[in-house]
Structure 1
Amino acid sequence: MRIREILRRKGDAVATVRPETTVRQLLAVLAEHNIGAAVVSPDGTSITGIVSERDVVRRLHEHGADLLDRPVAEIMTAEVRSCGPGDDVEDLRRTMTERRFRHVPVVEDARLVGIVSIGDVVKSAIDELESEREHLVDYIQRAP
């Protein structure tokens, strides 16, 4: 299965925030969209970084409530691992598991075209297993 199939099912909407967005504003975006991360982008198509709930929690522990009024550029991950729509989902699952990250932006022609979470990847694996099970059951029931 390819990443484009996941995007086809879930959609290509990506929550982005500008680098100067405050952490407080970021939290509002995450809550509004019920998501765990946002891509940091000055224009909605290029990627400057990614910022997650984990980033906020870890920095809150270090800096306290003053963190809420700081820009997300101070806490984002600047080295962002991305994938393309044609990439294999199984390869991405392995990479996400090994490197311990939960959100991967999808980029095509140097433009942000979607985002995939570990939940999306797991759901696609479960869907594939369910489809295989149905085919096997159908095959067994048709056997003489």
Structure 2
Amino acid sequence: MTTVAQVLKDKAYKEIYTITPDATVLEAISLMAEKSIGALVVTHEGNVVGILSERDYTRKIALMERTSFDTTVSEIMTGSVITVTTAATVEECLELMTDRHLRHLPVVEDKQLSGLISIGDLVKAAMDDQRKLIEQLQQYISG
């Protein structure tokens, strides 16, 4: 079974983008747009305190008629963040993300942020695992 450690190692883009809770939402969405990403991990003194996604922005700024200029990240971020460790398997993460309707999972080791995986990262890893299994079964059948 592929683990989160392997998924992180295989990722093309390994950089983790973070923002502080006191930053403005405008700063956050500007960073997301600049980096072409859908979420930022919110950190305070190196600890994960939240996650801010495009979904948070849409639901909590646009629909509630707030402004990005004077609303802080802490006001709209998802505060109860579910995290995983590098030892978690792809299957465990996919199940967690499906059950909780998540698109991103911060990876935390020794209380420090060590990565961020997306549903796309996990689907790719699961497809690679299935491809390898099919190849092994075909070789077994062929003799």
TM-score by length of 2: 0.90
2:128 aligned residue: 127
Structure-2 separation of matches of 1:51 and 1:123: 23
Task: Indicate whether 1:48 and 2:49 are aligned.
Answer: yes
User: Cα offset for 1:12?
Assistant: 4.1
After superposition, the C-alpha distances for 1:39-74 in whole angstroms (9 at most, x for unaligned) are: 01124x31111000000000111124x234311110
1:94 aligned residue: 95
Aligned length: 140
**CA RMSD of superposed structures (Å):** 1.4
Q: Secondary structure at the match of 1:63?
A: coil
Work out which of the residue numbers 2, 24, 28 in structure 1 matches 2:26: 24
Q: Secondary structure at the match of 1:115?
A: strand
Which structure 1 residue ranges, 5 or more long, are not aligned? Answer: none
Amino acid at match of 1:22: T
Structure-2 separation of matches of 1:13 and 1:42: 18
1:27-106 equivalences under 5 Å are: 27-43=29-45, 45-59=46-60, 60-64=62-66, 66-106=67-107
Structure-2 separation of matches of 1:104 and 1:7: 12
Specify which structure has the higher proportion of helix. 1
Amino acid at match of 2:51: I
After superposition, the C-alpha distances for 1:72-124 in whole angstroms (9 at most, x for unaligned) are: 11000110000001112211110110110111100000100001111111111
Structure-2 separation of matches of 1:85 and 1:33: 24
User: Cα offset for 1:137?
Assistant: 2.8
Structure-2 separation of matches of 1:95 and 1:14: 21
TM-score by length of 1: 0.90
Structure-2 separation of matches of 1:134 and 1:28: 44
